[in-house]
C-alpha cells in the first residue's frame, strides 16, 4: 500500500525534485488562483523554510486538483508536493484540522456501524462501491444501477462505506491507511477480487492504494456490457465535466461520453476537459480553508459551460456546480426517464442526503440475502 512510505524522506525528495527541476515557466501559475497568490512551486520552496509550520499549512489552500501536473512542460506534479506538505503538517502537529470538523464528521459517519453495510452473496468476487455522495443525492438511481449490475454480473455484491479520501487529502495518513487496510482485509478474506466504483474519488483511492483489489469504473462496465435500455433524446447538445480526480483516466472520459451518446445526446467539449479539466471547487476540501479559492475554480468551470446542459459522473461535482445551467449526473440520463425530456432532475440536499443513505441501506438489508454481511466495526 502506497501510504506505508516514510513521509519525511518522501517529502524531502519531492521538494528537492521540484526545487531542482522547475524552470519557473509559470504555466501552472497561469491556471491556478492558489499559485497566483504564492508563486510558482519553485518560488514557494525558495521563499520558505521547510520546517516552518506556516509554510506547510499553505498546502491546505491547494485544491490537490493536479492541473499543474497536467500542464507542466517538465513533467512535475506539484499537487503531490502539496499533499506531502499536508502530511508533514499533520505529523508536525500544526495542521489546521479544526477547520475541517464538519467534513471529518461526514467521513466518520460514512464509515460508522450505522451507515455501512457489506452485502456479499455466495461466491462473490466483485462488489459495487457507490461511495457516499451518490447514495446521498440519488439513492433510487444507485439502487437501480445495482439491480442492473446484478443482471450483468451474477453474484455481484454491494458495499456501502466511505473510501476515506477526505482523510487522505487532509494528510491524515495513518487514519486513512488503517481504515482502507481494514476494509481491504475483510473483502480479500471473503474472496472479493474487484471493486466497481461509481465515484471517481473512490476510484482514485482504490486505483492508488487498493491493490491487490482491482478497481474498475462502473461507467466503463456499462459501456462494455451495454447500458440499460430506455428512452433517448433528440440529438440535443450537451457538454461533459470531467472530475479532476479522473484527470488521468482517459478510458473513463470516453465511457462517460459514450454513455451520453447512447442516450441520443451530442457531446461538445469545453476548453478544459479530460486531462486538462478544471476542479469543481471542492477539491482538497479547500472550501473549508479559503472559500474564495474554491469559488475561483467553480467560476472558471462555469465560464466555459456557455449555457449548455452539463453532464458529469461525480455526484460531489453535481453538488458543487449546482449554480450553473442544469448539471446532470450520468445516472440521471440512464435511470430518470423524464430527465432527457426536461433536462432537469431531482438531487437531494443535506440533511436529506443522510436519510437517503440510511434508506438505501434499509432496502438492501430487507431485500438481499447475503452469504456474508457486516456493518463496519468502530475505528481503533
Ligand atoms: S493541484 Fe490544483 S490547486 Fe494545487 S497547485 Fe496544482 S493546479 Fe493549483
Ligand atoms: S509548470 Fe512546471 S516548470 Fe512551469 S512553473 Fe509550474 S512546476 Fe515549474
Classify strands 117-120 and 372-374 as parallel, antiparallel or unpaired. Answer: antiparallel
- If you take atom 2 of ligand 1, which residue's CA is the nearest one? 65
**Strand order of the sheet with strand 266-268?**
266-268, 237-241, 310-312, 327-329
More confident position, 197 or 2: 197
pTM, rounded to two decimals: 0.95
- Are 284 and 68 in contact by the 8 Å Cβ rule? The answer is no
Contacts of 73 (CB under 8 A, 6+ apart): 23, 25, 27
User: What are 271-308's pLDDT values in tens digits?
Assistant: 999 999 999 999 999 999 999 999 999 999 999 999 89
Question: pLDDT value at position 9?
Answer: 52
The three cell numbers of residue 344 are 432537469
| Residue 64 beta carbon below 6 angstroms from any ligand 1 atom | yes
| Residue 134 beta carbon below 6 angstroms from any ligand 2 atom | no
Coil, helix or strand for 200?
A: helix
**Distance between CA atoms of 61 and 38, rounded to whole angstroms?**
10
pLDDT above 60: residue 35: yes
Helices and strands (H and E) in the chain: how many: 20, 10
| Residue 24 beta carbon below 6 angstroms from any ligand 2 atom | yes
- Name all domains of the chain by residue range, CATH numbers in brackets: 2-95 (no CATH), 105-224+359-374 (3.40.50), 227-342 (3.40.50)
Ligand 2 centre from 61 Cα, in Å?
A: 18
User: What are 61-95's pLDDT values in tens digits?
Assistant: 999 999 999 999 999 999 999 999 999 999 999 99
Q: Which atom of ligand 1 is nearest to the CA of 286?
A: 3
Closest CA to 324 of 255, 239, 265: 239
Ligand 2 centre from 300 Cα, in Å?
A: 20
Question: pLDDT value at position 13?
Answer: 83
Amino acid at each position: 500500500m502506497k501510504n506505508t512510505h516514510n513521509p519525511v524522506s518522501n517529502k524531502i525528495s519531492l521538494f528537492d525534485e521540484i526545487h531542482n527541476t522547475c524552470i519557473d515557466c509559470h504555466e501552472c501559475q497561469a491556471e491556478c488562483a492558489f499559485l497566483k497568490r504564492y508563486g510558482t512551486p519553485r518560488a514557494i520552496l525558495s521563499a520558505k523554510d521547510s520546517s516552518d509550520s506556516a509554510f506547510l499549512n499553505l498546502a491546505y489552500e491547494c485544491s490537490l486538483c493536479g492541473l499543474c501536473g497536467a500542464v507542466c512542460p517538465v513533467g512535475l506534479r506539484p499537487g503531490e508536493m502539496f499533499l506531502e506538505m499536508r502530511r508533514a503538517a499533520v505529523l508536525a502537529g500544526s495542521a489546521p484540522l479544526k477547520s475541517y470538523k464538519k467534513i471529518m464528521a461526514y467521513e466518520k459517519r460514512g464509515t460508522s456501524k450505522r451507515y455501512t453495510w457489506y452485502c456479499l452473496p455466495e461466491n462473490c468476487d466483485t462488489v459495487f462501491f457507490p461511495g457516499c455522495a451518490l447514495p446521498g443525492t440519488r439513492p433510487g438511481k444507485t439502487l437501480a444501477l445495482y439491480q442492473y449490475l446484478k443482471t450483468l454480473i451474477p453474484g455481484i455484491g454491494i458495499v456501502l462505506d466511505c473510501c476515506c479520501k477526505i482523510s487522505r487529502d487532509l494528510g491524515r495518513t495513518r487514519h486513512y491507511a488503517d481504515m482502507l487496510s481494514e476494509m481491504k482485509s475483510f473483502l480479500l478474506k471473503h474472496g472479493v477480487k474487484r471493486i466497481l466504483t461509481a465515484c471517481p474519488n473512490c476510484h482514485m483511492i482504490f486505483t492508488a492504494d487498493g491493490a491487490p483489489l482491482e478497481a474498475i469504473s462502473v461507467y466503463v462496465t456499462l459501456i462494455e456490457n451495454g447500458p440499460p435500455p430506455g428512452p433517448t433524446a433528440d440529438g440535443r447538445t450537451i457538454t461533459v465535466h470531467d472530475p479532476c480526480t479522473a484527470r488521468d483516466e482517459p478510458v473513463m472520459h470516453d465511457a462517460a461520453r459514450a454513455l451520453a451518446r447512447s442516450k441520443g445526446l451530442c457531446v461538445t467539449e469545453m476548453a478544459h476537459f479530460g486531462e486538462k479539466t478544471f476542479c469543481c471547487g471542492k477539491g482538497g476540501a479547500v472550501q473549508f480553508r479559503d472559500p474564495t479559492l474554491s469559488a475561483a475554480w467553480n467560476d472558471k468551470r462555469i465560464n466555459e459551460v456557455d449555457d449548455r446542459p452539463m453532464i458529469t459522473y461525480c455526484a460531489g461535482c453535481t453538488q458543487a456546480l449546482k449554480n450553473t445551467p442544469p448539471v446532470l449526473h450520468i445516472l440521471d440520463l440512464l435511470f430518470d426517464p423524464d430527465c432527457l425530456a426536461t433536462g432537469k432532475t431531482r438531487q437531494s440536499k443535506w440533511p436529506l442526503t443522510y436519510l437517503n443513505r440510511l434508506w438505501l441501506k434499509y432496502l438492501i438489508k430487507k431485500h438481499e440475502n447475503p452469504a456474508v454481511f457486516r456493518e463496519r466495526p468502530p475505528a481503533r
